[in-house]
């Protein structure tokens, strides 16, 4: 039978063999206001079967039945549920028997001639049972929570040390025991001094265990195997509900591996900086040598035109000028050899392999804590050049990217091809980025945004790329990261361009036409004079655009004297433009300072020849004749004595 309207239905089992006694009990249950369902059992079998099939909230039982009784029913109920409320109802129960029933586990008893008492007894029994259930649930949750936090405490990667105000250990986890080289059980109750043998470390920990504020401290412990452990210690105060200081929890973090990684990173950074300083010296000397050789080319070249004079004083003066220029050139060559003793070996470089090699080297040091994404093109053609220089170039870019991502970030390195003529390498970070002003300044040598930087990282990168006849681009904005794009010519770029074999030679009887492509105006003018002396018409041009305009205007040179160090890799573009109109025309590549770039360019074209600056008119004639170009003397000076 179900009575009431509340959402919680109270399941009640009533053991009673006399139907006449059921109705009065039900009447009292109705008065409780409970929403209940009453299940009747008249003997042992029905009672025990009902207990097995249903979960009850309350049991009412007659004290005395013909073949069963309430006490045996109570004993059975307690085996099923020790907390289930159980009320005995009897007409014969005396005071002593009633007390004995309660002592044996009955919740309450009610006499049949006082059934009105069943209402409060039922309400109280259900309320107490509910409270016990809530309390036990809370205790279970507390126990689970304690176990959970104990698990976190025990399995923490840091050494956790609870110490009271008397410097006595309350608790320590497994990691702490391992750091101290002790058995965990021995930690309980151990004093601070008995756990720490090093006087300095003990002094630091005793200071941190006081109530006085303290910052994180670094100390050194000795591991069980004798190795030194570098530890960072922090603390949290332990206070009671009244705010009274009771001790501290110390957190010991082992930073030995991190410190070792930082040392490796610093060593690698120092190696890179040393290499950059050496390269900076080479950059400076190479720049000076280039500029000085250009000046000496003009001096020596023009002065050599005046040698062989019948005037002894004049001859002596110009000989002195030429000798001085020669000595200056020799001095510059010695300086170059000191800063770059030998030319690096040329080889075909697998750029994808180079990227993987550099990343493997840096990922556990400079790039630790940074997410690295590699997007490497399949079937990437090789690049010809100096693998060591390109390795250092990529390392410089990776170090710059790491410095821009102090709190971590993503470094993306991509390789690709462009028109089957260029191999592209892109290094992209999502760091702090740079403003236009900062970006412009970083590309000037000896200007740096770092505290201890040399200011040559990007300058060296640019120089290495241009030495490989490539291009360098950098794009950055504040908060948008930085992208550096390097482009290197693939071997296919140096294949002979389609030639117009119908290119007309110089007009019959006219002097051969020579293009002089030189960015330095003084050198351009001097070489023009030398070529005129050798019987050529010289057309002075400053850049690739001038060459293209001349070719578009129908001019067809018989010879080109080309500066191998035109800005932005224009020398390659000039050769390609010339080869489109004349595949076999001799090209004389002039170079000063570090001539690796010029050698590389000369090696890419079978009709290109190298001439080192500075040079005299006689050396120029020898270079032309070696290239198969005929010369003639247009004057009496300079060539009479074959001045070297």
Whether the predicted pLDDT of 635 surpasses 60 = no
Q: Which tokens belong to 342?
A: 């030998």
pLDDT grade, residue 90 (50/70/90)?
confident
Q: Residues, the chain, total?
A: 644
pLDDT for 107: 87
Indicate whether this model's pTM tops 0.75. Answer: no
Band of the pLDDT at 627, cuts 50, 70, 90? confident
- Are 641 and 307 in contact by the 8 Å Cβ rule? The answer is yes
Average pLDDT rounded to a whole number, residues 131-143: 88
**Residues in contact with 167: Cβ distance below 8 Å, sequence separation at least 6, in sequence order:** 191, 192, 193, 206, 209
Q: How big is the CA angle at 307 (ends 305 and 310), to the nearest 5 degrees? A: 130
Q: How far is CA 279 from the centre of its chain?
A: 26
Q: Which of 32-41, 349-358, 371-380, 484-493 has the lowest mean pLDDT?
A: 484-493
pLDDT of 225 strictly over 60? yes
Interval 391-410 mean pLDDT: 87
Q: How confident is the model at residue 11 (pLDDT cuts 50, 70, 90)?
A: very high
pLDDT of residue 337: 67
Mean pLDDT of 619-629: 87
Per 3-state DSSP, what percentage of the chain is helix, strand, and coil (rounded to 5)? 45, 20, 35
Backbone angles phi, psi at 474, to 5 degrees: -135, 135
CA distance 269 to 357: 17
Q: What is the pLDDT of residues 436-475, one digit of tens each?
A: 887 776 655 544 554 444 444 577 788 778 777 788 889 9
pLDDT beyond 80 at 115? yes
Q: Is the pLDDT of residue 374 over 90?
A: yes
Q: Give the C-alpha separation, 538 to 561, whole Å.
A: 10
Question: Rounded mean pLDDT of 385-394?
Answer: 85
Residue 280 neighbours by CB under 8 Å, 6+ apart: 445, 446, 454, 456, 459, 460
Query: What are the DSSP calls for 281-301, one per residue?
Result: HHHHHHHHHHHHHHHHHHHHH
More confident residue, 75 or 450: 75
pLDDT at 499 over 50: no
CB contact at 8 A, 346 and 387? no
Residue 594: pLDDT band (50, 70, 90) is low
Determine the distance from the C-alpha atom of residue 387 to the mean position of all C-alpha atoms in its chain, rounded to a whole number: 24
> Would you state the structure tokens that stand for residue 135, as one six-digit string?
């309390």
Long-range contacts of 228-237 (CB under 8 A, 24+ apart): 228/256, 229/179, 229/254, 229/256, 230/254, 230/255, 230/256, 230/259, 231/159, 231/179, 231/255, 233/204, 233/205, 233/208, 235/208, 235/209, 237/211
pLDDT for the residue 541: 92
The pLDDT of residue 567 is 79
**Whether pLDDT at 394 is above 50:** yes
**Of residues 426, 383, 388, 356, the one with CA closest to residue 279:** 388
Q: What is d(CA 118, CA 120) in angstroms, rounded to the nearest whole number?
A: 6
Q: Tell me: pLDDT of 280 over 70.
A: no
Residue 546: pLDDT band by 50, 70, 90 thresholds?
very high
pLDDT at 275: 67
What's phi and psi for 484, nearest 5 deg?
-110, 125
**pLDDT band for position 425 (cuts 50, 70, 90):** very high
Q: Order of strands across the sheet with 537-541? A: 537-541, 513-517, 559-563, 587-591, 608-612
Tokens linked to 509: 């009887």
Work out the percent of the chain whose per-residue pLDDT is above 90.
18
Return the number of other C-beta atoms located less than 10 Å from residue 50's C-beta: 18
Residue 312 pLDDT grade (very low, low, confident, very high; cuts 50, 70, 90): confident
Whether the pLDDT of residue 629 is over 70: the answer is yes
What's the pLDDT score for residue 637? 42
**The dihedral sign for the CA sequence 16, 20, 21, 23:** positive
Q: What is the mean pLDDT of the chain?
A: 82
**pLDDT tier, 493 (very low <50, low <70, confident <90, very high otherwise):** low
CB atoms within 10 A of CB 84: 20
Q: Bigger pLDDT: 187 or 508? A: 187
> In this model, does residue 265 exceed pLDDT 80?
no
User: In this prediction, what percent of the chain has a pLDDT beyond 70?
Assistant: 87
């Amino acid at each position: 039978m179900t009575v009431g309207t509340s959402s919680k239905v109270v399941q009640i089992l009533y053991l009673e063999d006399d139907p006449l006694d059921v109705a009065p009990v039900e009447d009292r249950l109705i008065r409780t206001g409970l929403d209940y369902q009453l299940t009747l059992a008249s003997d042992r079998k029905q009672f025990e079967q009902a207990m097995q099939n249903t979960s009850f909230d309350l049991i009412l039982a007659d004290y005395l039945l013909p073949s069963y009784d309430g006490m045996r029913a109570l004993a059975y109920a307690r085996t099923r549920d020790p907390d289930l409320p159980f009320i005995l109802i009897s007409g014969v129960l005396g005071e002593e028997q009633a007390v004995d029933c309660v002592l044996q586990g009955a919740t309450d008893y009610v006499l049949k001639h006082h059934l009105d008492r069943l209402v409060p007894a039922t309400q109280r029994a259900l309320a107490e049972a509910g409270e016990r259930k809530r309390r036990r649930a809370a205790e279970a949750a507390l126990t689970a929570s304690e176990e959970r936090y104990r698990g976190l405490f025990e399995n923490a990667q840091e050494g956790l040390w609870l110490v009271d105000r008397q410097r006595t250990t309350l608790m320590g986890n497994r990691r702490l025991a391992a750091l101290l080289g002790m058995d965990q059980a021995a930690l309980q109750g151990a004093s601070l001094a008995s756990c720490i043998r090093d006087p300095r470390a003990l002094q630091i920990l005793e200071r941190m265990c006081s109530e006085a504020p303290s910052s994180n401290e670094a100390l050194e412990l000795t591991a069980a195997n004798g190795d030194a452990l570098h530890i960072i210690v922090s603390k949290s105060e332990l206070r009671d509900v009244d705010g009274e200081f009771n001790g501290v929890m110390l957190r010991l973090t082992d930073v030995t591996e991190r410190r070792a990684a930082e040392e490796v990173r610093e060593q690698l950074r120092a190696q890179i900086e040393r290499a950059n300083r050496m390269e900076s010296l080479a950059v400076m000397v190479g720049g000076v040598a280039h500029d000085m050789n250009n000046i000496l080319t003009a001096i020596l070249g023009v002065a050599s035109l005046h040698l062989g004079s019948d005037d002894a004083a004049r001859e002596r003066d110009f000989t002195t000028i030429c000798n001085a220029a020669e000595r200056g050139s020799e001095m510059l060559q010695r300086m170059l050899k000191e800063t770059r003793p030998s030319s690096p070996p040329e080889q075909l470089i697998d750029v994808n392999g180079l990227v993987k090699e550099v990343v493997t080297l840096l990922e556990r040091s400079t790039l630790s804590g940074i997410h690295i994404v590699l997007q490497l093109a399949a079937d990437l053609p090789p690049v010809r050049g100096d693998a060591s220089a390109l390795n250092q170039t990529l390392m410089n870019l990776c170090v710059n990217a790491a410095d821009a991502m102090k709190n971590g970030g993503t470094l993306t390195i991509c390789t690709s091809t462009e028109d089957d003529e260029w191999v592209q390498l892109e290094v992209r970070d999502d760091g702090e980025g740079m403003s236009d002003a900062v970006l412009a300044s970083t590309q000037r040598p000896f200007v740096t945004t770092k505290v201890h930087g040399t200011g040559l990282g990007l300058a060296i990168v640019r120089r290495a790329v241009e030495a490989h006849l490539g291009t360098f681009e950098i794009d950055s904005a504040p908060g948008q990261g930085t992208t550096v794009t390097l482009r290197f010519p693939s071997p296919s770029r140096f294949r002979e361009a389609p030639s117009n074999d119908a290119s007309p030679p110089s007009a019959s009887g006219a002097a051969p036409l020579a293009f002089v492509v030189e960015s330095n105006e003084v050198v351009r003018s001097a070489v023009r004079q030398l070529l005129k002396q050798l019987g050529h018409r010289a057309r002075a041009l400053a850049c690739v655009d001038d060459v293209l305009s001349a070719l578009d205007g129908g001019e067809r040179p018989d010879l080109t004297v080309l500066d191998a160090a035109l800005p932005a890799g224009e020398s390659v573009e000039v050769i390609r433009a010339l080869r489109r109109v004349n595949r076999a025309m001799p090209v004389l590549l002039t170079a000063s300072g570090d001539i690796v770039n010029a050698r590389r360019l000369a090696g890419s074209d079978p009709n290109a020849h190298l001439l080192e600056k500075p040079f005299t008119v006689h050396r120029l004639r020898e270079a032309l004749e070696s290239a198969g170009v005929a010369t003639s003397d247009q004057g009496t000076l300079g060539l009479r004595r074959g001045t070297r």
